[in-house]
Structure 1
Amino acid sequence: MTWFRCPENRPWASMRLFCLPHAGGSAVFYRPWVKEISPAVEVHAVQYPGRADRIADAMVGDAHQLARLVAGAMAPLMDRPAALFGHSMGAVLAYEVARLLQERGSAPVHVFASGARPPHDRGEDRVSDKDDDAVVAEMVKLGGSDAEALREPELRELVLPYVRNDFKLIEDYAHRAAGPRLAVPVTAIIGDADPHVSRAQAARWAEVTDGRFALKVLPGGHFYLTERQRDVIAEVHRTLEVPAVP
C-alpha cells in the first residue's frame, strides 16, 4: 500500500505539497484542498498505517521511525521542488522528515508547521495513558471531524486504537539536537484560540531552523484550518510564490 493519496495528478505542476495529518487523522483531511490550491501545486497527503484504507497495516509507534518511512517513500517523488505541511502531530513529523531529506541532499523548499508546539517544547500532557472516555474527551475538546467519529460506538472501536497510538507516538517523541540543523525556511501557523499552543510557543519554531521564519496567527481553535482553509492556502501560495486559483 502506498504512503500518499493524490486526489488529482498534475503532471504539469511545478511543485508538490506533502501534507501530514494530525494525531488520529488520515489523508482525507486534506482532500478539500485540491479545489482551492493552485494548479501549479500537486497535493500528496500522507496516509499513516493502521487507519482508513490502511487499517490492516501495522501502526508505527515511534515518531523517528515514522519520519524515516515517510522520507523514504518521498524519495521517488522529489524530482520536483517539494514543500511539507503538517498539522499538530503532523507538524513535528514534517520537521523530522525535512531534516532527513536535507541530510540526503533533497531538502524541501519550505516547512509549514500548523497548530503545534515546536519539537523541543513538547509539554508534559499525556492523553495516551488515560482510559477510553478520557481519550475521547480530549479529541472532542480539540475538535475536528475525528472527534465526531468517536461518538459512534461502532466507529469508536475502529478509530480509538490508532488515535491512542498517535497520542502515544507524539507524547513519547523526544527532539534530537544532534546532527545537522534544519536549514529550510519554516512558517508556523496557529489559531488564536488554540488551547494546545500559544503564540509564544509557536514563535519558538524559529529556534530549530537556520532558514527564515514566519509566524501567522489566524482566528480559531486547534482546527482553525478547517474554517480558515482559504486563508491557509493563500499563505501557502504567497510563501511558495505560486499563482492562486483563477
Structure 2
Amino acid sequence: MPESAEHIEKWVRRFHPAPDCAARLVCLAHAGGSASFFHPVSKALAPEVEVLAVQYPGRQDRRHEPAVDNIADLADHIFDALRDLDDRPLALFGHSMGAVLGYEVALRRQHAGLPSPAHLFVSGRRAPSRYRDERVHHLSDDRIVSELRALSGTQPAMLADPEVLEMILPAIRSDYHAIETYRHDPDRRLDCPVTVFTGASDPRVSIDEARAWEEHTTGPTDLKVLPGGHFFLVDRSAEVIATVRQHLMDATPTGEPRTRRATVTPQPTGTTR
C-alpha cells in the first residue's frame, strides 16, 4: 500500500462508502471526541455526500497511540491525509475543537495551492481570534469529569465507569491542552464560504464570538443560532444536516465527480464519543 494511502487509512474512517457522491464532507470531532460521533451524519448524507470522519490518535482503534497535544501538529497530519482527495469538492465540518482544526486544515490547503474547501462548517466554537483564559487541561481528573458532565457531550455511563475513564482521560486532557494553548495567525485568512452553527445558550461561545468567524475569511459567512447548549447539534442534528446538504448541493450543481485519485477503506464503528 502506498505511503499516502496508509496515512489516509490511519486518520480517516468512512462508514458509508459513496463512490458516486457529488462531494465529500470531512468531519472533525470535539475535544475527547472520535470518528464514530459522526456515524449518524454519514448515514444521513449518503449517498449524495460521502462523509470522512477523522480519527484522532489516543482513542477507539487508535487508543494505544499517544495523543497529539497541539493543534498545529494535528492539522498537519490531517492535511497530509486529505491532500490527495481532490477528485471532487471537499468540505470540512468541525465541532468545538474540530472547528479550529477544520479552519487550520483549510488554511493549509489554501497555502499549498490546493483547491480551497467548497465550504467550511464550524459548530460550537468561537472564532479563532477570540480567546478565553480556559485551563481545563490543568485540572484534576475529577474536575475534568465535572466539566464533561456540565457540557453534556459524553455519555453519563462512560463518566461513571472508572475503567473507561482511565482509558479516555489522557486523550481528553491532551485535546484540552491543544485547544486551550492554540493561537491563530492574524495574517492568514480563508477565501471559502463559512457557515457558523452555535447554541443560543452555549456557555463556551457567545453570539458575538461566533459572529467573529466572518473576520477569518474573504468568502461569505452565515451564522445560524439554534436552541441548546454546547452540544446543541445532537438535538438539532436534522436542521444542521439539512443546511450542510443544501450548501454542498448548491456548490456542486452538476453532481459530476472528477476522476478518482484516492480511496479509503471503510472502518468499523467505535463506541467512544
* Fold shared by both chains (TM-score > 0.5): yes
Task: Give, in whole Å, the separation in 2 of the partners of 1:95 and 1:35.
Answer: 24
| Cα distance, 1:17 vs structure 2 | 0.1
Q: Percent identity?
A: 46
| Cα distance, 1:161 vs structure 2 | 0.4
| 1:150 and 1:159 in contact (8 A); partners too | no
| 2:58 and 2:65 in contact (8 A); partners too | yes
Name the aligned partner's letter for residue 65 of structure 2.
D
Moved more, 228-237 or 148-157: 148-157
| 4+ residue segments displaced more than 6 Å | none
| Cα distance, 1:184 vs structure 2 | 1.1
Q: Which among 132, 143, 146 is matched to residue 123 of structure 1?
A: 132
Q: Determine the structure 1 residue equivalent to 2:244.
A: 236
* SS at structure 2 position matched to 1:16: strand
Task: Give, in whole Å, the separation in 2 of the partners of 1:61 and 1:92.
Answer: 14
For 1:180-199, list aligned pairs within 5 A.
180-199=188-207
| 2:69 and 2:174 in contact (8 A); partners too | yes
| Cα distance, 1:65 vs structure 2 | 1.1
| Cα distance, 1:241 vs structure 2 | 2.6
| 1:25 and 1:146 in contact (8 A); partners too | no
| 1:21 and 1:27 in contact (8 A); partners too | yes
Q: Which among 179, 182, 195 is matched to residue 173 of structure 1?
A: 182
Aligned residues: 242
* Match status 1:161 vs 2:164: no
| Cα distance, 1:150 vs structure 2 | 2.2
Where does structure 2 lack aligned partners over 5 or more consecutive residues? Answer: 1-8, 253-273
| Cα distance, 1:223 vs structure 2 | 0.6
Name the aligned partner's letter for residue 140 of structure 2.
D
For 1:85-234, list aligned pairs within 5 A.
85-106=93-114, 107-146=116-155, 148-178=157-187, 180-234=188-242
Name the aligned partner's letter for residue 116 of structure 1.
R
| 1:24 and 1:146 in contact (8 A); partners too | no
* SS at structure 2 position matched to 1:215: strand
Q: Which among 3, 25, 29 is matched to residue 21 of structure 1?
A: 29
| 1:38 and 1:237 in contact (8 A); partners too | no
Task: Give, in whole Å, the separation in 2 of the partners of 1:37 and 1:3.
Answer: 21
The CA deviation string for residues 88-134 of structure 1, in whole angstroms up to 9 with x for no partner, is: 00000100000001111221111001000111112111101111111
| 2:23 and 2:248 in contact (8 A); partners too | no
Change (3 A) 1:212 1:145: same
The CA deviation string for residues 32-73 of structure 1, in whole angstroms up to 9 with x for no partner, is: 112321521000000001110001122111101110110110
* SS at structure 2 position matched to 1:31: helix
Task: Give, in whole Å, the separation in 2 of the partners of 1:122 and 1:19.
Answer: 23
Task: Give, in whole Å, the separation in 1 of the partners of 2:71 and 2:36.
Answer: 21
TM-score by length of 1: 0.95
The CA deviation string for residues 134-174 of structure 1, in whole angstroms up to 9 with x for no partner, is: 10111111111355422211100001100000001100101
Name the aligned partner's letter for residue 47 of structure 2.
P
The CA deviation string for residues 188-209 of structure 1, in whole angstroms up to 9 with x for no partner, is: 1011111110111100000111
Q: Determine the structure 2 residue equivalent to 1:10.
A: 18
| 1:21 and 1:86 in contact (8 A); partners too | yes
Higher RCO (C-alpha 8 Å, min separation 6): 2
RMSD of the TM alignment (CA)? 1.4
